[in-house]
Amino acid sequence: MVWPRYVCYFVGIALLTWMLTQLEMSFPGSLRLHVFVNPGDQIGTSEFSPVELIQPLIIAVCGALLAWVAHYCPSQRPIAIPFGGVALLFLIRELYYFLDRYLVENLWQVLVGFAAALIIVYTYRVRKRFRIAWARVWPSPGLALVFAGSVILFAFVHLVAHEPLWMSILGDDYRRIVKLAVEEFIELIGYLLWLVGTIEYAYQARAIAFRKPQRAARRRREKRRHDREGRF
């Protein structure tokens, strides 16, 4: 049954959001959304916030699920590996502050470029298998949620959390922590959608990998029946 999982998703996201908001309201400043690392720091950062620290954990779980799909569901490997690569790009991007501060400046850009090149080359080489795997899994509620999370992370958050926008809205009352709070909470819901979508995709990939083979005629008949039932 699918619906108990979605109830769990709702309760889990609501509980996590409630805990973070209650933490800040009960202990003001505990979310550390705008801290100055040293006396010479003029900008401040939110990288030490619990909200920021949760995000790499979510990405790591998504990457582990996609690695499981790639290993145990061979028919979905051409999709799972590129999506896992995108999760790796997100992880590197989220850790950029620590990579720059404690290792080598701009190292994260080199790592992102290298990983992105590998993803592009791999996807191009398995493009036919990718199309076949996509045809087997689509329409997919899980991939639809992954797409929704990607829209938030790639486009929405960068436009809504644009600093000049908040400077224009708040005028003389502008404080950078407002912009950072909006940005981090929007990113968090984007990653949570990615997590839910990845879990659902893993369930679907497992069902495809372990279902019994069907005759071609039977598959076509069931597809026609499904298409007729899906029409308004």
Residue-wise pLDDT for 156-204, tens only, equals 988 888 888 988 988 888 888 888 888 889 999 999 999 999 999 998 8
- Structural domain count of the chain: 1
Look at residues 147, 129, 139, 155 and name the one whose alpha carbon lies nearest to residue 227: 139
Residue 209 banded pLDDT, cuts 50, 70, 90: confident
Q: How confident is the model at residue 101 (pLDDT cuts 50, 70, 90)?
A: confident
Does residue 159 form part of some domain? yes
Considering the domain boundaries, does residue 16 fall inside one?
no
To the question of pTM greater than 0.85 for the whole model, the response is no
Residue in the block written with tokens 């790009």 = 89
Residue 25 lies in a domain: no
22 pLDDT higher than 50? yes
CA-to-CA distance for 88 and 79, rounded, in angstroms? 14
Residue 24 is assigned to a structural domain of this protein: no
DSSP structure class, residue 35: B
What does the pLDDT average to over 29-57? Answer: 81
Within a domain: residue 123?
yes
In-domain check, residue 4: no
**Does a structural domain hold residue 180?**
yes
CA–CA separation, 95 and 102 (whole Å):
11
Q: What number of H helices and E strands is found in the chain?
A: 11, 0
pLDDT at 218 over 60: no
Residue 232 pLDDT: 47
Q: Is the pLDDT of residue 57 over 60?
A: yes
pLDDT score of 179: 87
Task: Give the residue from 201, 223, 194, 198 showing the smallest Cα distance to 75.
Answer: 201
Task: Provide the residue range defining the domain that includes 115.
Answer: 46-212
Is residue 221 assigned to a domain? no
Fill in the amino acid letter for 213: P
Higher per-residue confidence, 76 vs 39: 76
CA distance readout (Å), 133 to 33, 75, 108: 41, 6, 31
How far is Cα 149 from Cα 188, in angstroms, rounded to an integer? 10
What's the mean pLDDT in 117-143? 88
Q: In the predicted model, is pLDDT for residue 33 greater than 90?
A: no
The mean per-residue pLDDT over the stretch 207-218 comes to: 62
